[in-house]
């Protein structure tokens, strides 16, 4: 079962992460490109998941994490 993005992240923050990143930061442009690319393959990702069972971590979140790991040369998922 494919997981869904949970918009309740504000429950764990006293500030908005969006307010901490400058408006002209290059990551904002990268995020828009990544969101557009992931939206294009969303139907293909849906086809890979079963309709029953325990929900997984949304693949978009995993792929965005891997992108950040690559951009910042982080050595492992654990360090991330």
Token pair recorded at residue 32: 């828009």
63 located within any domain: yes
* Residue 52 DSSP SS3: coil
Instruction: Give the global pTM.
Output: 0.75
- What is the domain range of residue 63? 25-45+56-74
Q: Which position has the token pair 């994490």?
A: 65
Residue 64 is predicted with a pLDDT of: 93
79 located within any domain: no
Per-residue pLDDT tens over the stretch 14-63: 777 778 889 999 999 999 999 999 999 999 998 998 888 888 888 999 99
17 located within any domain: no
Token pair recorded at residue 75: 């050595």
Q: Which position has the token pair 């923050």?
A: 13
Residue 9 above 70 pLDDT? no
DSSP, res 9: G
What average pLDDT does the segment 72-77 reach?
92
14 burial class (0-12, 13-18, 19+ CB within 10 angstroms)? Answer: exposed
**What is the total count of domains within the chain?**
1
Residue 2 is predicted with a pLDDT of: 76
């Amino acid at each position: 079962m494919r997981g869904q993005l949970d918009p309740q992240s504000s429950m764990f923050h006293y500030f908005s992460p969006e307010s901490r990143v400058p408006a002209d930061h290059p990551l904002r442009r990268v995020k828009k490109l990544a969101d557009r690319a992931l939206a294009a393959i969303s139907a293909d990702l849906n086809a890979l998941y079963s309709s029953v069972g325990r929900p997984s971590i949304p693949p978009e979140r995993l792929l965005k994490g891997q992108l950040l790991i690559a951009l910042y040369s982080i050595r492992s998922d654990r360090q991330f």
